Amino acid sequence: NHCYTSPIYREKTAAIDRLLAQRYGRNPNVILWHISNEFGGECHCQLCQAAFRNWLKKKYNNSLDALNHAWWSAFWSHTVTDWEQIHSPVQNGEPDEIMTGLYLDWRNFVTYQTTDFMKMEIEAIRSAGSDIPVTTNMMWTPQQIDYHYLKDHIDVVSWDAYPSWHEEDQIRCAVDAAFNHNYFRSLKHKPFLLMESTPSNTNWQAVSKLKRPGMHRLASLQAVAHGSDSVQYFQWRKGRGGSEKFHGAVIDHNGKASGRVFEDVKQVGISLEKLDAVCGTKTDAKVAILYDHKSSWAIANASGFINADKRYVKTCLQHYKSFWKRGVDVDVIETGEDLSHYSLVVMPMLYSLDQAQIDRIEQYVAQGGTAVATYATGYVNETDLCYLGGFPGNRLKDVFGLTADEIDTLYPADKNTVLWNGQTYDVIDYCELITPTTAESLGYYGADFYKGMPALLKNSYRSGMAYYIGCRDTGELTDKLYATLLQELKIKTYDLPEGVTIATREQYLFVQNFNDHPVTVTLAGTYRNVETGEVYDDTA
């Protein structure tokens, strides 16, 4: 229902922005501009088609030969001989994914056009004389916009969090929410704002479950624990009509400032007031997980592997859980960032990597870092062309000391195992057939024609260490590996009951229990409860 390219839409939007900025831009009660709402969607009109072609001309220096090579368009006779032949990758209302290079460029164009539209709105506000900071509210990963481009043009990151609490696996939901909070905190490496949450239920999830007593406070303080400096709501009062008239709100249709949900909100407000000193504090994570939108898009649209669902995000969450359960703070960053700050960098399924990203990873390990990569790493470049000479691409073969020759995809009923240090771990979905060059083999496949071939390897590369997991396990193998590495790297961990986690913001420790029953946690040292003032001492 919008077109970010339309000059009329841009003109009218900018006019509204300027009028708002002129009227409220110097009002001391206005502390932040909220630019648009949940940027997303795409338009396929003729204006956008023309803008897409112009964007491609700039990217490929007006060379159709360069574009055809990047898209490998000769395959199935898709060679482009005129710019006007190019259209967005949609046929009959459905994505046309035959040329992944075209699809990836379209996704990058949509990100560019959305960012450009947002910049236009910000400029309209600034032209009216307002220097109040700006934000735009982002949404749960994965998205069809790469937020790493939007974040460079806003002053503070904000996002809308709607976890599906009280599902069958409550711990999985808590891990998922924590991962996303960490992702948005890591965009600018400073506190973010929780722009939207619900004090009760949503109306648009598959099951509109009410938050059980205590869940709203737990979820709100989870956001604070992972870097939020706010807890805000959609919505204040339930609307009488429309599609979200049954979406949770602070004030229900009865119009009363009372009741169970209102009291829950009140209690969160009391807690936040007591936690005011936490605002502005940061998280110093020594572990990073590389989460990359472009890899997510590329592997999701690759024909091969498990075509129905490669489970890229779920794989990232599985690796993240090993740190979450031990109270280890993690930054969730993209591959273009500086890695030198981290003791351990984890790279699940980084299928698509350009040369600059490869160089950054190589430099990190060469200078003393410890990296962990998995199957399907560095298979293709930024336009989905396979790297020649074996996987992972280019110098990553030297970094990890191996070549991934083939990858076997397992049916759901297939079984395999990995034997490591006398223990057997179950393997599902993927098994890479690996030839070590300089890497030391740690674990070996237990079945099939590649029984005895290496599945878990480590390689000493210059001053650093690189580990490679050639298969997808059910969680036990990766968990054991990370437990070992955390100990070797002397990264602080906690011995916590199942379902309990710890997050840190400078001197503040957040201990949270996501079970539906009480548990006992023992922490060595002396701590003061910020809310109650109670002192806990276990220095013996």
pLDDT at 458 over 80: yes
Alpha-carbon Rg for the chain, nearest whole angstrom, is: 25
Reported as a pLDDT band with limits 50, 70 and 90, residue 2 is confident
Is the CB of residue 244 less than 8 Å from the CB of residue 231? no
Write the burial class of residue 448 (CB in 10 Å: 0-12 exposed, 13-18 middle, 19+ buried). middle
* Single pTM value for the model: 0.97
pLDDT at 109 over 90: yes
pLDDT at 55 over 60: yes
Please give the pLDDT value at position 9. Answer: 97
Neighbours of 137 (CB within 10 A): 20
> What single DSSP character describes residue 151?
G
pLDDT at 267 over 90: yes
- pLDDT tens digit sequence for 286-306: 999 999 999 999 999 999 999
pLDDT at 94 over 60: no
pLDDT at 93 over 60: no
Please give the pLDDT value at position 178. Answer: 98
What rounded mean pLDDT belongs to the chain? Answer: 96
Neighbours of 101 (CB within 10 A): 23
First to last CA, the chain: 64
Q: Which residues of 188-217 are buried (b: 16+ CB within 10 A; e: fewer)?
A: ebebbbbbbbbbbbbeeeeeeeebeeebbb
- pLDDT tens digit sequence for 304-320: 999 989 999 999 999 99
405 to each of 209, 393, 434, how far by Cα in Å? 47, 12, 6
Query: Which residue has better confidence, 457 or 41?
Result: 457
- pLDDT tens digit sequence for 205-251: 999 999 999 999 999 999 999 999 999 999 999 999 999 999 999 99
- pLDDT tens digit sequence for 135-172: 999 999 888 999 999 999 999 999 999 999 999 899 99
Please give the pLDDT value at position 475. Answer: 97
Which residues are part of the catalytic machinery? 38, 196
- pLDDT tens digit sequence for 499-510: 999 999 999 999
Question: Looking at this protein, which amino acid is placed at residue 99?
Answer: M
pLDDT at 92 over 60: no
- DSSP for 430-472 reads EEEEEEESSPEEEEEE-SSTTTTSEEEEEEEETTEEEEEE-EE
